[in-house]
Structure 1
Amino acid sequence: MQFLRRIFRGEPATGLANYRLRRRLAVGGMGEVWLAQDPDGRRVVVKRTLESDDQAILELCMADEIRNMAALDHPAIPALLDAGEHDGHHFLVLEHIHGDSLWRLSRLAQAGGSRLPDGLILRIGARIAEALAHVHSRRDDHGQPLHLVHRDVTPENMMISHRGEVKLIDFGVSHSSLNERITAPGSIYGKVAYNSPEQVLDGPVSAATDQFQLGVVLWELFAGHRLFAGGSLATVIHRIASQPALELEHFRPDLSVAVTDTVMRCLAFHPMDRHESCEQLAYRLNKLAEIMDSVEGSHYASWRATLMAQGLDPQRLPSASVHQSEPTLPQAA
């Protein structure tokens, strides 16, 4: 990618002026995200850093996010279209997904007194696991593993297009062998209620960390309850660090043992006790979805249209930005 060679050689970028910023989608400590138009009028997403007391660290983080995104090429991950520097701030341009976050969709289903269809949950989980398997398999130009880990696998970072395509987004806190220099010991990244035991205990992160986070998402979608959230930050951290995940079958006895066992294995306390890889997890989830005669993309569209016909539009829900609380599903008791 020519723009990556340019930016990392320190040469002038084409600039953010090529993109027309239309609507701010999110803002937080790391920067802001905009819906924008490229020079050809196509919708794109622009992410850029903002002024901060930790400006140098933020710019390093964004540069590392650009490097990590450039190593990825998978249909379930938005394509990196451009990157550069504008007025001393890094920016990146990504493929726009016309759809809703899994967070919005779960809230939509909750508002309608239901939850996502089980088959659809399995298909979404399988697609995210496939994306993560791709992330974990990346190598550098010399063929050495990048050890890339997403570290923020949450419903807010999963998008489903109106055609039913599933995408894993936001590599802003991703970690690899390229950016170990700015990963501070004792730091907790992403949304705490989705962190793994090794994250809250300041242990080494790995591919199994992403698998645990995906397991939390699947558990909550099936159960209709939050798994670890509730109470103070210290309480949540203590719960993750010291208590095994509650058995899914207690909340969904109607699910097959194969489904509950697959989800619960993701949530094993020790990384070595989880699935061998996200590739293996994706295979199992796809097989379970086939057995369940899962919902395909067109059926997803029908399910969404049915809820919208009841006056439940995900676009009317507030965005789950970093300034808002996490989804308010009931806490598991």
Structure 2
Amino acid sequence: MSIPAGTLVPRDARDFGSYQLIAKLATGGMAEIFLARPNGSGHQDVLVLKRILPHLAEDDHFVTMFRDEADLASKLIHKNVCHVHAFGEFAGTWFIAMEYLHGVPLSRMMTRLSKAGKMLDVRMVAGIITQACEGLHAAHEARGPDGALLNVVHRDVSPPNMMVCGDGTVKLLDFGIAKARGANSRTRTGTVKGKNAYMSPEQILGKPLDRRSDVFALAIVMYEMLAIKRLFHRDSDFLTFKAITEEPIPDIRDRRPDIPPGMRAALIQAMARDPNGRFDTALGFSNAIRNSVATLGGPASPNDLARLLFTDFGDEMAARDEILKAADDPGPSVTTTPPVPPRAQRRPPTQPPPLPP
């Protein structure tokens, strides 16, 4: 049965092993995303269930990659990383059950700001990026049972994979193409994975990657948050790759003359085309950003970010809550609701967070 995105699952089709599928949130090129809850749980215990599309379930390479994703993500326990609860197989279909976040994807925030002709305050940018740095650093520092580094590289750090939640927490999402020491799957010859406009030069050129590749990608995100303009995106992959590897990077001061000098310096260092010129760690990048806005009051706090969502993106938050309300409605078996991104964290507050004393 094909269920459109943004639609409640018919009640006679909800059983999926230990879970009840509530609503279809999205369908990607590789998997379907559902709002779900474990059998026997309360109405508040919702999660996201990601399952492989049927035509890929026969692809051993893809199934191995999917299992690698789940295995790796389950090891990454940090407040700034979307948590994977479980993974397994039911009726021949592999799935991942993960944390359900309530918030707005950074990509959506930036699109809205661009259309409105608005800019983000530099403290807000610093607040989002430093939290993302913390999540990345935790992933980069993940260790196996033997105590050795897993050498995790996310490889797809980009605005769609960053969520600002209703409580002001920033979450990194989708370690689906991340690589770690000991992973079973291998990228097929000739393939380059990741969103093209956020790749590092070494990723484009097929060179070995380490954590500094993710630092470069996050710096592109930071640049675009400050400029509210795409940096390397061009009309073709070739031109995008050429821009990343060869073209001069426009001075961020052309778009943001108010940027603190230390923040600009941190951005330039993080976007060095030679990995040896970048920060060694995401933590080093974070510390430089924190220091650059110290005289302005430091990076925006989670409370500051929560207020930003409530005041500027309240309609987005409310729309994402509608599907939860529909899921709790014992009425019709199928209800069309607005599509919701597959990430959330409970329901939004009815009042903005209090101002700090």
Same fold per TM (> 0.5)? yes
Alignment of structure 1 residues 203-282 onto 2, 5 Å:
203-282=207-286
Deviation string for 1:275-300 (max 9, x for gaps)? 12111112222333433224322232
1:160 aligns with 2:164: yes
Alignment partner, residue 302 of structure 1: 307
Superposition pairs of residues 310-321 of structure 1, within 5 angstroms: 315=319
What is the CA RMSD across the aligned residues, in angstroms? 2.3
Q: CA deviation at 1:175?
A: 0.8
Q: How does 1:1-333 map to 2 (within 5 A)?
A: 16-39=16-39, 40-41=41-42, 42-52=45-55, 55-179=59-183, 181-293=185-297, 294-308=299-313, 315=319
Could you list the per-position Cα deviations for residues 85-113 of structure 1 after superposition, in whole angstroms to 9, with x for gaps in the alignment?
11222211111111111111112222332
User: Sequence identity, in percent?
Assistant: 28
Deviates more, 1:150-159 or 1:275-284: 275-284
Asked whether the equivalents of residues 35 and 45 of structure 1 are also in contact (C-alpha less than 8 Å), the reply is yes
Larger radius of gyration: 2
Q: How many residues align?
A: 306
Q: Which runs of 5+ in 2 are unaligned?
A: 1-14, 321-337, 343-357
Shift of residue 319, structure 1, vs aligned partner: 7.0
CA change 1:35–1:28 in 2 (3 A) is same
5+ residue gaps in structure 1?
Answer: 1-14, 322-333
**Contact kept in structure 2, 1:156 and 1:320, CA below 8 Å:** no
Gap change, CA 1:59 and 1:161, over 3 Å in 2: same
How far apart, in 1, do the equivalents of 2:26 and 2:106 lie? Answer: 16
Q: Which amino acid is the alignment partner of residue 48 of structure 1?
A: R
Residues 180, 249 of structure 1: CA spacing in aligned structure 2 closer, same or farther, 3 A cutoff?
Answer: farther
Checking the alignment, whether the CA contact within 8 Å between 2:104 and 2:316 is kept in structure 1 is no
SS at match of 1:182: coil
Q: TM-score, normalised by structure 2?
A: 0.79
User: Which structure's relative contact order is higher, taking Cα pairs within 8 Å and 6+ residues apart?
Assistant: 2
CA distance in 2 between counterparts of 1:127 and 1:252 reads: 22
For each residue in 1:148-173, what CA deviation from the matched residue of structure 2 results, as whole angstroms up to 9, or x when unmatched?
11011011111111110111011111
Shift of 1:30: 2.3
